[in-house]
Amino acid sequence: MNEAGRLPSWRPGRTRDAVLGFLDDAVTIPPEDRVAYFDNDGTLWCERPTYVQYEFYVDALRRRVEADPSLAGEAEFRAVLAGDSAAVGEIGLARVALALAGLFQGLDPRAFTREVREFLRTGAHPTLGRPLSAVRYGPMLELLDALRALDFTVGVVTGGGTEFVRSVSQELYGVPPERVVGTMIAYELGQDANGRPALRRTARVLGDVNEGAAKVTNIQAQLGRQPVLAAGNSAGDHELLEWAAAADGPHLSLLVDHDDPEREFAYASQAQSFETTEPVTATADRLGWTTVSMKDDWAVVFP
């Protein structure tokens, strides 16, 4: 494919040149080593003003409260329904997240998938005026396609819930659910009314939140392949990007910088489960990653 036909939504410049240079060099990588992993929130689709998964749980909470108003009296749910970020912070995001996950405790995983897909089909972004399926980043979709054209195995490695992202990864990104690694909810095996095996969701998290070093160890445990390209947007992706940078041969570590208040949002991306002192863009400069300026490097943000 000629240069004009590749990555058409990426503006000419050093960043696009770096990505195209990697794609050109990738033909020298053995096919079995052509592996790329992408963070989801803030890297493949919009994560502001709140995560899409959080909005899914809030929507579910409102529906549950309509059926059982007493739920609104629980501290975690009261803070969420009021949109009180200070109260959520005081309670602790982890405790709030577990309470929200508990809304689906006992649900069959297939039923959970149906609820996620229905929310994606009908939901809209709260400020951008777009359907949720239309807040994917067009330039990143082009990169996914370019990698697949080179026979890359592409996966999504998210700090969000594994089953939430698995429910939509094929439709949104062409990534099959078995290539999604995220924060995992435990399941219990029992029987249905007919005595057949039945899986049910719990409200327990298996292991750590899938951020930082956990992204690397969970990839190895669940997928077993090191990436030669990794893309992220926050300090929670630091170890993932460094793992890709440590690969032998051609490699690329991409950091998406949200610096476009006109077309999306402008903010400094933070990890959610731990604190850092160095801005992630400074980390990228220090370690030689390729930083994508949403404002300068993307001619189009949303497809």
Strand (E) positions, the chain? 35-38, 153-161, 180-191, 197-206, 229-232, 252-257, 290-293
* H-type alpha helices, 102-209: 109-122, 138-149, 162-173
Cβ–Cβ under 8 Å, residues 215 and 192: no
- Reference 81, options 100, 94, 67, 105; nearest CA is 100
Mean pLDDT value across the chain: 95
pLDDT for position 1:
47
Query: Is residue 139 reached through a cis peptide bond, with omega within 30 degrees of 0 on the bond before it?
Result: no
pLDDT for position 89:
85
- What's the rounded Cα separation, in Å, for the pair 276 and 272? 10
- What's the rounded Cα separation, in Å, for the pair 240 and 194? 45
Please give the distance of CA 41 from its chain centroid, rounded to a whole number: 4
pLDDT for position 3:
60
Of residues 232 and 276, more confidence is placed in 232
Cβ–Cβ under 8 Å, residues 239 and 203: no
SS3 (DSSP) at 178: helix
- What's the rounded Cα separation, in Å, for the pair 244 and 236? 14
- What's the rounded Cα separation, in Å, for the pair 121 and 123? 6
Regarding pTM above 0.75, the answer is: yes
SS3 (DSSP) at 13: coil
pLDDT digits (tens, 9 = 90+) for 12-23: 999 999 999 999
- What's the rounded Cα separation, in Å, for the pair 192 and 242? 45
How large a percentage of the chain has pLDDT more than 70?
99
Cβ–Cβ under 8 Å, residues 301 and 263: yes
Cβ–Cβ under 8 Å, residues 279 and 256: no
Of residues 98 and 197, more confidence is placed in 197
- What does 205-271 look like in DSSP terms, one character per residue? EESS-S-THHHHHHHHHHT----SEEEESSGGGHHHHHHHHTSSSS-EEEEEE-B-TTTS-B-----
| Bridge pairing between strands 180-191 and 153-161 | parallel
How large a percentage of the chain has pLDDT more than 90?
91
Cβ–Cβ under 8 Å, residues 104 and 60: yes
Core vs surface per residue 75-98: b (16+ CB within 10 A) or e: ebbebbeeeeeeebeebeeeebbe
CATH fold for domain 3-48+131-297: Rossmann fold (3.40.50)
pLDDT digits (tens, 9 = 90+) for 92-107: 877 898 899 999 999 9
Mean pLDDT for 1-10 is 78
Cβ–Cβ under 8 Å, residues 181 and 210: yes
For residue 188, which amino acid is it?
E
Mean pLDDT for 119-145 is 96
Cβ–Cβ under 8 Å, residues 203 and 105: yes
Q: Is the pLDDT of residue 2 over 70?
A: no
Cβ–Cβ under 8 Å, residues 189 and 198: yes
Q: Is the pLDDT of residue 142 over 60?
A: yes
- What's the rounded Cα separation, in Å, for the pair 200 and 218? 22
